[in-house]
Chains A and B, each alone.
Chain A
Amino acid sequence: MRSLNIPLDDDTIRSLKVGDPILLSGVMVTGRDAAHKWMVDTFIKKTRQPQGDDLEVYEAIKPLLKGGVIYHCGPVVAGLDTKQYRFVAAGPTTSIREEPYQGMVMQHFSIKAVIGKGGMGPKTLAACQEVPGVYLHAIGGAASLIAQTVTRVLAVYKLDFGVPEAMWVTEIKDFPAVVTMDAHGGSLHASVAEHSRAVLQELLAKA
Chain B
Amino acid sequence: MPDITEKILELVRLTSTDLPPDVEASIRQAVEQEEPGSAARGALETILENVKLSRKNSTPICQDTGTPIFYVYYPSGWSTRELRQQIEDAVVQATKKAYLRPNSVDSISGKNSGNNLGGKHFPSIHFEEVEGDTLTIELILKGGGCENVGAQYSLPDTTLNAGRDLAGVRKVVLDAVYRAQGQGCAPGILGVAIGGDRGSSYYASKEVLYRKMDDHNPNPQLEAMEQRMVEEANQLGIGPMGFGGKTTLLGTKITHLNRLPASFFVSVSYMCWAYRRRKMTLTRDQVKYE
Residue numbers of A with Cβ under 8 A of B are 19, 21, 34, 73-78, 88-91, 93-94, 96, 117-119, 137, 139-148, 161-165, 176, 178, 180, 188-189, 191-193, 195-197, 199-200, 203-204, 207
B34-57, CB under 8 A of A: which get 1 and which 0?
000001001100110110011001
A residues in contact with B65, CB < 8 Å: 76
* A-chain residues with CB within 8 Å of residue B47 when the two chains form the complex: 139, 141-142
- Which residues of B sit under 8 angstroms from A96, Cβ to Cβ? 183
B280 at the interface (CB under 8 A from A): no
Contact mask for chain B residues 68-110; partner A; CB cutoff 8 A; 1 contact, 0 none: 0000000000000000000000000000001011110100001
Determine which of A145, A163, A192 lies in contact with B243 in the assembled complex, contact meaning CB atoms within 8 Å: A192
Q: A77-B98, A196-B181 are in contact. List 14 more A-B contacts (CB 8 A).
A: A73-B63, A76-B59, A76-B60, A89-B61, A118-B182, A119-B242, A140-B145, A142-B46, A143-B63, A188-B243, A188-B244, A196-B178, A203-B232, A203-B235
> Across the two chains, which residue of chain B brings its CB closest to A142?
B50
Nearest chain A CB to B145 CB, angstrom units? 4
Q: Are A163 and B102 in contact (CB under 8 A)?
A: yes
Give the chain A neighbours of B161 by CB distance below 8 A: 204
A178 touches B182 (CB 8 A): no
A93 / chain B contacts, CB cutoff of 8 Å: 64, 144-145
User: Can you name 5 A-B pairs with beta carbons within 8 Å?
Assistant: A76-B59, A140-B145, A164-B102, A188-B242, A204-B175
Q: Is B237's CB under 8 angstroms from A195's CB? A: yes
Complex Cα spacing A100 to B64, Å: 23
Number of A-B contacts (CB under 8 A): 168
CB contact between A139 and one of B43, B59, B111, B244 (< 8 Å): that residue: B43
Interface residues of B in 127-183 (CB under 8 A from A): 143-145, 148, 160-161, 167, 171, 174-175, 178, 181-183
The size bracket of the interface on B is 35 or more
Given contacts A74-B64, A145-B53, A188-B244, A203 and B46 within 8 Å (CB-CB): no
B272 touches A140 (CB 8 A): yes
The answer to whether residues A139 and B242 also contact, given A88-B98, A94-B148, A200-B175 and a CB cut-off of 8 A, is no
**Is B204 among interface residues, defined by CB-CB distance under 8 A?**
no
Rounded to whole angstroms, the CA-CA distance of A19 and B272 in the bound complex is 23
In the complex the two chains form, what is the Cα distance from A135 to B178 in whole Å? 22
The reply to whether B50 and A189 form a contact with Cβ atoms under 8 Å apart is no
Check A199–B237 contact: CB distance below 8 A: yes
Residues of A within 8 A of B174 (CB): 200, 203-204
Question: Which B residues, 230 to 257, have Cβ-Cβ distances below 8 Å to chain A?
Answer: 232, 235-239, 241-244
Q: Say yes or no: A162 contacts B102, CB within 8 Å.
A: yes
The 8 A CB mask of B6-33 against A (1 = contact, 0 = none) is: 0000000000000000000000000000
